[in-house]
Structure 1
Amino acid sequence: MTNAKTDCFVVEGGHQLKGEITPQGAKNEALQILCAVLLTEEKVTIHNIPAIRDVLKLIEVLGDLGVEVNQISEDTYEFQAKNVNIDILQTEEYQNKARQLRGSIMVLGPLLARYGYAKIPMPGGDKIGRRRLDTHFLGFEKLGAKFEYTKDGMFTIDAHDLHGSYILLDEPSVTGTANIIMAAVLAKGKTTIYNAACEPYIQQLCRMLNRMGANIQGAGSNLLTIEGVEYLGGTTHTMLPDMIEIGSFIGLAAMTGSEITIKNCRIDQLGQIPTVFQRLGIQMEFRDDDIYIPAQESYKIDRFIDGSILTVADGPWPLFTPDLLSIVLVVATQAKGTVLVHQKMFESRLFFVDKLIDMGAQIILCDPHRANVIGLNKEVALKGIQMVSPDIRAGVSLLIASLSAEGTSRIYNINQIDRGYQKIDDRLRALGAKITRE
């Protein structure tokens, strides 16, 4: 798998695609589910794990900590955290790996719950704006933990007396909620988490932990109640399909005028995603658990009831996910009509629009959070250019734009795309895309 910034995708655009594609397992679920294996010494089997860089790196970190890892099939692993060595937390090798990976923050809750101690550097990840970690640590403090943040960017947490508490989160952070849940399941007494994230990924984590013997009530709401238990056992867990991939494939079909069937989508877990793309004018049919998108020559953006311009904004679940706003913005460039894209949660995620403008898109970047997109209605095709992928979601958005454009595009820094999308070039070629990796 590539990791060099000079590596690139060469994309010949302007071709219709056709066929079936199956989404990978959910990246954002994987990062917390994998860390939950640290909560028990018994075996945990996890199915539908995506083979992407961020997930594979996290599995490597778990192995370094002493978790026994056995790969049973391409997407199924067996984990047993019977002989965890927390002294590894002090090593430079561990700290360097953790520093490169945003998901490494998720080891904190399980380590605190089971061993009463954790240490981690400031984690990496996408540079999409300020992504504070206060929610995690304020929650740990409420449970009785004490932490120190040193100037070298290291967090050290002592939690040898975790006890249940009432916690009102300052924001419904998904990773913050997951980390606090995992710390609380083995704490003494009752924990109440209010303003909790309620994403399907949090619901999945709660179901998995309850199968392991935890006592969590309220999953799917913003009020969770956790009665601490003394011991958790093993389990088997299957991860959801990645809703961000599903949204990306819907956008891909629309931009390239392609007939695509997205298989095994768990439509009941997609929330607002199909609705938002339908408001952009994209036709789709739900066939059992598949989404069928017919080839469309054009698609027209809806307006609000009073005739005003549609606004698509992100927010905590069950509002529209911020990870798909980049896709919405790209899809809107070739729609008929105008839409205001309002990225509320991250202030640097819209800066990739300069590449789309270079490709011929009509976009006004109002400020770091808002972009006004005037659709070209496919009357003027985007043109292929050279560009650099700034983060996972912008990278795939630029890839979709390139597949719809006239001419050849080169997208550099594709390790960013590999971090979130499994063998994306192979899977797109199976649909007829002209894409090569150099």
Structure 2
Amino acid sequence: MTVHIITIGDEILIGQIVDTNSAWMGTQLNLIGAAVTGISTVGDGAEDIRGALERASAQADVVLMTGGLGPTKDDITKKVIADFFGVELQFHEPTYQRLEGFFRQLGRTPTAAHRTQCMLPTNAEVLTNKMGTAPGMWFEYNGSVIVSMPGVPYEMKYLMTNEVIPRLQEKFPVQAIYHHTLMTAGEGESRIAEKLEEIEDQLPAHIKLAYLPNLGYVRVRLSGTAMDAAALQMDVEKEAGRIRERLGDLIYGQNDESLEENLGHLLRNRKLTLTTAESCTGGYVAHLITSVAGSSDYFMGSIVAYANAIKQDLLGVDPATLETHGAVSEATVREMVSGALKVMKTDLAVAISGIAGPGGGSPEKPVGTIWMAVGNATTTEVFKLQSGKDRLKNIQYAGNIALNMVRKFVLKHY
């Protein structure tokens, strides 16, 4: 089964909103063995929508459209679809009755625009949208399927989950597909690929390996397809075991587990507490840690020591260290760790100080120079990151590396 996704809306084209619908649909379709062969984003104009529909329906078994089904005049998707099929729009009484009941519960009545919203192509099979006012529509056309859904993400997800995917699975039986993703940190994509070259060359024909790099970590994804789902799962898991053995502690988790989630498990299981002392990252590492539910079990707090005076007054960094080595230095982050441990009374501390950019660098310490340290009462380990000039990327990259430093420190010393 091949699928083409069309998202409709000028707001997507001008960057006012980000198209998250296509990414979510692609993930769900992949899980059922469907192949997404194309994604198109078009504006609200009738010619744009029709052109995309004509191209997509000629290329794929299934066309999934989102957007343009609202009650306002710029929502013209239904009219375009009706013209495409050469049919009229007609009032769909069951949809209006459902809307009346919905608004009655809110103490309101539908507007004239909502009556217009109930005008549907005569050949549409209506998909009830229990999360909103606009119904989904299913059409069958020359052996293919065209589905139109609202662009509101939670409405689209409801229709995909409860209506569209079950129908597609019934109409287009496909091979089973199975994924296993191993989450790695500490090496880049090319180094990981080099370590796995022999395993990749020996993979069975029905299993593929993909590398999905991000800032500070790499997803290693095994994907397989076969008619026998149980046998396929065993085959993929066998290859995943070989990769685990080869990569060792570069692997911190699986199936999109985040570094902060994994670190939380480690700290909780070992009954350890952690604090952060952050300068250039401005509390970003603390934000990552506290994004995990239950992090209060192991995370005590953070000191954002952006100014040198705070490094001195709260963390006890020696003014002579700052004068001699500068705030961005190994000596400073070591003292920041020591000070954080004393102030916060935790088992572990991680410290970061650097030049996030885009300005503030020098020939000796260019933008992207970031020192990090993690330690306990007896041992401190340091790392120097030399990154680029993008401020946000530098902060995010440093945050992920810092979390991995703590993870490796815990595994090594506890």
TM class by shorter chain equals under 0.3
**Higher relative contact order structure (alpha carbons within 8 Å, sequence separation ≥ 6):** 1
Relative to the length of structure 1, the TM-score reads 0.23
Relative to the length of structure 2, the TM-score reads 0.24
Larger Rg: 2
Structure with greater helix share of residues: 2
